[in-house]
């Protein structure tokens, strides 16, 4: 499967990707996770990206496009990939199409996980993640239920930044919904239901 997960911040892209990875072992390419790893490691990329991420703004296209196109060449992506958080602008979608066309690995689907903004603000301000394994949980998880690791709150999960991320999504990323509808790849899934119910629809949409 070669798929793109679309959806607002907090729609559940990472949650659904984790389920697909667990069941099918597909390569999960999350630009947000890659950038957070770069920030943690203190690389040049991380230093450059941090100010955009902390404000909830997009990291410039040229930086992100290069990062993803390199990542797609790693061997684990040969058997399929789940792009999570990329593309986020029309320029990114066009660059992705050009690259996938060149290597003859077309997308199978663009899944839009649809959730209303007010639900998202609540979800993101109460989200907590595991420092050790990246498990996505909530403030109710004192320790990671998967590995027992320490849970933390992402720097961009405060209400002010979340609202900016939602504005940025509407302005820059929502237009991609029409972009993928035009190429008949778009499947919209109601993301405001139990995560396992959402996952059943994700699999149905992918014919799995």
Give catalytic residue positions: 13, 88, 127, 154, 165
Q: How do strand 127-130 and strand 151-152 relate by DSSP bridges?
A: antiparallel
Q: How do strand 186-190 and strand 109-114 relate by DSSP bridges?
A: parallel
Phi, psi of 33 (to 5 degrees): -65, -40
Site mask for Mg ion (CB under 5 A), range 3-42, x = bound: -----------x----------------------------
For ligand AP5, the binding residues in 92-151 under the rule CB under 6 A are 92, 123-124, 127, 136-138
Retrieve residue 85's tokens.
Answer: 């958080």
**Residue 134 lies near Mg ion (rule: CB under 5 A):** no
**Binding partner of residue 136 among Mg ion, ligand AP5, none, CB cut-off 5 to 8 Å per kind:** ligand AP5
* Residue (3 or 11) nearer to ligand AP5, CB: 11
For ligand AP5, the binding residues in 28-87 under the rule CB under 6 A are 31-32, 35, 52-53, 56-59, 64, 85-86
Q: What distances in angstroms separate CA 52 from CA 35, 160, 168, one per listed residue? A: 11, 14, 12
**Residue 11 lies near ligand AP5 (rule: CB under 6 A):** yes
Please report, as ranges, the residues that interact with Mg ion according to CB under 5 A.
14
């Amino acid at each position: 499967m070669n798929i793109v997960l679309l959806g607002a911040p907090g729609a559940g892209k990472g949650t659904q990707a984790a389920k697909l990875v667990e069941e099918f072992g597909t390569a999960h390419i999350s630009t947000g996770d890659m950038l957070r790893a770069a920030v943690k490691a203190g690389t040049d990329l991380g230093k450059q990206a941090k100010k955009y991420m902390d404000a909830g703004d997009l990291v410039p296209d040229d930086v992100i496009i290069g990062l993803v196109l390199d990542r797609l060449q790693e061997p684990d992506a040969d058997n399929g990939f789940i792009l999570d958080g990329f593309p986020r602008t029309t320029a990114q979608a066009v660059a992705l199409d050009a690259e996938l066309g060149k290597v003859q690995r077309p997308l199978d689907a663009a899944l839009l996980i649809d959730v209303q903004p007010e639900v998202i603000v609540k979800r993101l301000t109460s989200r907590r993640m595991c420092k050790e394994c990246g498990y996505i949980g909530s403030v109710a998880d004192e320790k990671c239920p998967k590995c027992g690791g320490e849970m933390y709150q992402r720097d961009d999960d405060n209400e002010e930044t979340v609202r900016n991320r939602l504005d940025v999504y509407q302005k820059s990323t929502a237009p991609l919904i029409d972009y993928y509808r035009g190429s008949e790849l778009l499947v919209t899934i109601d993301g405001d239901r139990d995560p396992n119910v959402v996952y059943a629809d994700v699999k149905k949409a992918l014919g799995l």
